[in-house]
A and B are shown apart, each in its own frame.
Chain A
Amino acid sequence: MRRSFIARNPSILVFLACLALFTLAITLMSEATGAGLISTSFVKTLGKTLCLCLVAVAMDLVWGYCGILSLGHFAFFGLGGYMVGMWLMYARTEIIVAGSLANAPLPPTPAEISDAIGSQIFGVVGSSDFPLIWSFAHSFWAQMALVVIVPGLLALVFGWLAFRSRVTGVYLSILTQAMTLALSLYLFQNESGLRGNNGLSGLQNLPGVGAGQDAVSMWFFWGSALALALGYVICAWVVSGKFGSVVRGIRDDEARVRFLGYSVEGYKLFIFTFTAVIAAIAGALYYPQAGIINPGEVAPIASIYLAVWVAIGGRGRLYGAVIGAALVSLVSTWFTGGLVPSIRLGFYTVDWVDWWLVLLGLSFVLVTLFAPKGIGGLVDLITDRIAPNRHGADYGPDKGALREGEGRK
């Protein structure tokens, strides 16, 4: 008899338990629901980190399991943020406008309200008309559906075009990077209808919610934790079993899987689109906590960072992605926040705000060269997972194939 899904993957239970404990601990220490030991802004930082962990899990699925080094998943993340941001901005401005028009001698007509909202939102780019892409911004449910539909559709079309012409390996990475660059350049234009480089702002204020930021940040923290837990379990489920074996086979030797009769393009397209949707949902949870989204967030470099988090955490294992994203983004916040004491060398003072990126860059190099398993590899010390002896050969001929050191005997 087959063992159950959870029994075959004990790491899921461990991960869920850790996440639950962490959430509980933060809840008890927060200002809104606990002792007030940690500030609201730190709760937001932790909530955002959970969202980044979720997008890293998606990245691990597409790169670590399917071998597609996509440099475009942060674009989907940003698109999700834009979609939710449109509703937040519209709904909040609508409340403000309705309040100011209520004092007018005549009750406002729908057209007047819409005009007033338009000039409030688009005043910064010298326009007052609603572009076509804002057609659904008034409706919460429609816009929430767009969070999934727009990035999903973009990934579907792009993936279909790329996979059917058998673009693989490095070329695919460059192509996804080009897509990200095109998207961010498009968003930078005022004509794009998304306020150009001003981006969408004021997203931290939930329309129609009277509660303070301390409570709202806790809601989002819980929401992010829940999304991460669900996303983790679903991704783990996808990669377990037969489907997961085929996906890993594609990573290591795509041609062989194709000759075995599997529709490689279909599998790749599913994984690419599915992870894009997860990334979009993570983004939709992230940006209301960040409060602002602008095209700079979608720039190609963000997507490379995402790949680096997964590499540092250890690709091909979902908890590795979570560890990498959480560690690098939190340590990054710590260093760039100026909280780390400077090192005085006598002739020069190493100020970590300036030198952190140098340190980070060099540590990527070191991890890539000497620790292909990443930080997640430390887990192998307490489990019985050891690397196979393949005499220095990779798992397969494909560019994304696991290296000898990354594998499991």
Chain B
Amino acid sequence: MIKRILPALALVLGLVIAPILPTHVAQAQEQAQEQAQEQAQEQDQAAPADSIRPILSENAALIIESSRRTIQPAIDAIAASGLPQAPFVLVTWADRDMWQRKSDGLFFKAVKNAKQYDLIDFDTGEIVATVDKDAIDQLKPNSGIRAEIAVALVKFQLSDPDPAKRAEALDAIERNGEKSHLAPLRASIETEQDAALKARKQHLETLLTIRFDADTDTRIAAIEKVAGDTGVDVRATLNPLVATTLKAARTLPDAPNVAREIKPGFDLLSREDAYQLLVNEGLAPRLLNDRDLRDTLTANITDGAVGGVPVADLGTNAARNRAYDALVAAGQADAAATTDEIDEIIDDFTFYETYSEPNSEVTQAANAALHKSALKVGLMQFLDLSLDALSLGSIYFLAAIGLAITFGVMGVINMAHGEFIMMGAYTGYVVQLFIPNYTVSILVAIPLAFAVTFAAGVAMERLVIRWLYSRPLETLLATFGISIALQQLAKNIFGTQARPLTSPAWLDGGLVINDVVGISYIRIAIFVLALIFLCLFLFIMKKTRLGLETRAVTQNPKMAASMGINPEYVNMLTFGLGSGIAGIAGVAIGLYAKVTSELGQDYIVQSFMTVVVGGVGNIWGTLFGALMIGSLQKGIEWFNPSNTLAAQTYMIIFIIIFIQFRPRGIIALKGRAAGD
């Protein structure tokens, strides 16, 4: 083999180079190459029986070419050689440490030694020579080839003494399992000492058995073993087994594995699609579509007319069909299939779906196994969706709880509420600039954000809102003015780009229950924070002096004042409290969303709707409102996961309709507390 290829290669090379170089140089090169090959062959013959050198030389052309398309045989040859030094060669090659000596074309591992390179022989692992750099060529496998090498290396790594290496090999098999992995994987299970790795190996072995084992009974046994498992890997293994392809034939064939027969014309397969399938498989003549019709007519224009119809008249389909019929009659075009013919052809054929897996017992077992897990997966998905809805609900609740105080209890429309949330988030960002420890900085940021927004809320109440208590619509406009001023101020100070508010490391990652159900720790933290706020709110409102006074002032300010309560003072503190809670919510929201000057704007309408839907003046109403909006949005998203905008649109429309039926929200205040 090599004796034929290499001289031919050299000849080609020579022919290519010859016209460029002066003739004698080309000849000299040719001679040098021939010499090199002769030497290589001599050395091959001299090598011992367990040397990898002949394999490398045989595949030298492929190795040097270094193209992902053609490299596979070379890697296979090395990996399949069964020689102990094969993994060493592959690792060296993948690490770009394999070099070729120019003088004889042999491959070595080269290690830089001062200004020269030590050449290490693959068979013996010893340094055989030390040469200059220009005497050797480096092989530079690209990332594609290195990936192929990694796959081949897996076999050797499965029994590697290093557990990390073994885990790496299992990762590689999980990503890209092959039939050839099965045997080494099975062989390595017995000797595996690590219990976790052993379990992984056994699981992988089962999956590979389902996919690649030759024996049907073994495969079915393996399938039954994983039946009901909800893991993604299991379903990804089983699903391709039961995937079907649509086919057509004149009679229903016995084999291969037919899933079912399909009658064209029903919802699964329209008659048009059925005919198109026949056309694609070359079983029926093509339909005449508008484009072909136009092209045929264009090709047959003679003297400003086609088939006797003037070109100027061909602006309608009827005229075009007439012209085409004329062409067919004249024999200048193929007759198109008529509707009757199409029906006849379709009726002539039987349409059926076949499994890509030819063995019907295996597909039956796989179907049964998938069916067993389907219900479980459905339940899990519902659980996951509920968790998502709960966490979205708690985010809305967090954003709205401050409003539940300022709007719900006091009746003040504060359009700058969103900007208080933003201020809280920016406070967290600024604190992180000074305190690099994320855990400490969050612990500092939360009370500081409360303090900052409490102060802002009190200032706003004193300066603006207290003059407008009986005028909620004017409050709306005035606070909107404050809102755009604060937003622009934040833009001027922090710029328009998003600022990071990094969560502590212990909040990274998430709680993964299985492949379907999982939730990130930040969302759990937000949920917990929402619960804490709920308790805090209830405690303040029901158990403290401030809460009592707040409720009194809200219900009847004059009566409260005559009882010795200072309504102005109470209003100020209550508004400050609501604003301060918005600030803390800002820190929480900033942890998972980007901190920009528009952060608050994204939540303001939803927050108001949460309070209105829940029922003004009742914290439980706000909670139910937030949960309802959260689960509604997630539920609608589930129907069309790619389109969250649509989910929001439909959610708002639903809320508008909901308000029609319960204008006072889920929990409506009754009696005097209702206010009007």
- B653 on the interface (CB 8 Å rule)? yes
CB-based contact B646/A361 at 8 Å: no
CB-based contact A175/B656 at 8 Å: yes
State in angstroms the CA–CA spacing of A110 and B316 once bound together.
7
Q: Which among A108, A165, A189, A358 is the interface contact of B488 at CB below 8 angstroms?
A: A358
For residue A69, which residues in chain B have a CB less than 8 angstroms away from its CB?
473, 476
CB-based contact B605/A189 at 8 Å: no
State in angstroms the CA–CA spacing of A355 and B470 once bound together.
31
For residue A112, which residues in chain B have a CB less than 8 angstroms away from its CB?
290
Main secondary structure of the interface of A (DSSP, over half): helix
CB-based contact B663/A171 at 8 Å: yes
Q: Please give me the residue from chain B that is nearest to A179 by CB atom.
A: B656
State in angstroms the CA–CA spacing of A300 and B612 once bound together.
17
CB-based contact A394/B470 at 8 Å: yes
A117-149 interface code vs B (CB 8 A; 1 in, 0 out): 000000000000000000000000000000000
For residue B471, which residues in chain A have a CB less than 8 angstroms away from its CB?
394, 399, 403
For residue A311, which residues in chain B have a CB less than 8 angstroms away from its CB?
474, 477
B514-555 interface code vs A (CB 8 A; 1 in, 0 out): 000000000000000000000000000000000000000000
Q: A166-B663, A399-B472 are in contact. Are A362 and B485 (CB under 8 A)?
A: yes
- A111 on the interface (CB 8 Å rule)? yes
- B659 on the interface (CB 8 Å rule)? yes
Q: Which among A164, A189, A308, A403 is the interface contact of B481 at CB below 8 angstroms?
A: A308
CB-based contact A169/B472 at 8 Å: yes
CB-based contact B482/A361 at 8 Å: yes
Least CB distance, A375 to chain B, in whole angstroms:
15
Least CB distance, A126 to chain B, in whole angstroms:
13
Q: A368-B474, A369-B464 are in contact. Are A300 and B605 (CB under 8 A)?
A: yes
Least CB distance, A299 to chain B, in whole angstroms:
9
For residue B609, which residues in chain A have a CB less than 8 angstroms away from its CB?
174, 178
- A288 on the interface (CB 8 Å rule)? no
CB-based contact B652/A182 at 8 Å: yes
A287-313 interface code vs B (CB 8 A; 1 in, 0 out): 000000000000011001001100100
Q: Which of A108, A304, A355 counts the most B-chain CB atoms under 10 A from its CB? A: A304
For residue B482, which residues in chain A have a CB less than 8 angstroms away from its CB?
361-362, 365
What band does the interface of chain A fall in when counting residues whose beta carbon is under 8 Å from B?
Answer: 35 or more
- A227 on the interface (CB 8 Å rule)? no
State in angstroms the CA–CA spacing of A273 and B605 once bound together.
24
State in angstroms the CA–CA spacing of A267 and B126 once bound together.
101
CB-based contact B659/A175 at 8 Å: yes
For residue B570, which residues in chain A have a CB less than 8 angstroms away from its CB?
none
CB-based contact A106/B481 at 8 Å: no
- B560 on the interface (CB 8 Å rule)? no
Q: Which among A173, A178, A362 is the interface contact of B473 at CB below 8 angstroms?
A: A173
CB-based contact B298/A400 at 8 Å: no
State in angstroms the CA–CA spacing of A400 and B477 once bound together.
13
For residue A234, which residues in chain B have a CB less than 8 angstroms away from its CB?
none
Q: Please give me the residue from chain A that is nearest to B661 by CB atom.
A: A165
Q: Please give me the residue from chain B that is nearest to A357 by CB atom.
A: B488
Q: Please give me the residue from chain B that is nearest to A63 by CB atom.
A: B473
State in angstroms the CA–CA spacing of A161 and B301 once bound together.
63
For residue A191, which residues in chain B have a CB less than 8 angstroms away from its CB?
643, 646
CB-based contact B656/A161 at 8 Å: yes
Q: A167-B663, A178-B655, A362-B485 are in contact. Are A109 and B315 (CB under 8 A)?
A: yes
Q: Which among A165, A166, A177 is the interface contact of B605 at CB below 8 angstroms?
A: A177
- B214 on the interface (CB 8 Å rule)? no
CB-based contact A185/B298 at 8 Å: no
Q: A173-B476, A174-B609, A181-B605 are in contact. Are A364 and B481 (CB under 8 A)?
A: yes
B307-339 interface code vs A (CB 8 A; 1 in, 0 out): 000011111110010000000000000000000
Which B458-486 residues have a C-beta within 8 angstroms of A? Answer: 464, 467-468, 470-474, 476-478, 480-486
Q: Please give me the residue from chain B that is nearest to A400 by CB atom.
A: B473
- A10 on the interface (CB 8 Å rule)? no
For residue B599, which residues in chain A have a CB less than 8 angstroms away from its CB?
none
CB-based contact A170/B656 at 8 Å: no
Q: A161-B656, A167-B663, A400-B473 are in contact. Are A108 and B315 (CB under 8 A)?
A: yes
State in angstroms the CA–CA spacing of A362 and B609 once bound together.
26
- The 10 tightest CB contacts between A and B, nearest first, are A364-B481, A361-B485, A357-B488, A182-B652, A107-B315, A361-B481, A368-B478, A361-B484, A186-B649, A365-B481
Chain B interface residues toward A at CB < 8 A: 290, 294, 297-298, 301, 311-317, 320, 411, 413, 415, 464, 467-468, 470-474, 476-478, 480-489, 491-492, 601, 605, 608-609, 612, 643, 645-646, 648-649, 652-653, 655-657, 659-661, 663
Chain A interface residues toward B at CB < 8 A: 69, 105-112, 158, 161-162, 164-167, 169-171, 173-175, 177-179, 181-182, 185-186, 188-189, 191, 300-301, 304, 307-308, 311, 354-358, 360-365, 368-369, 372, 394, 399-400, 403
| Interchain residue pairs with CB less than 8 A apart (20) | A105-B301, A106-B314, A111-B317, A161-B660, A167-B663, A173-B476, A175-B659, A177-B605, A178-B609, A182-B649, A185-B652, A304-B415, A304-B477, A358-B489, A361-B480, A361-B488, A365-B481, A365-B482, A368-B474, A368-B481
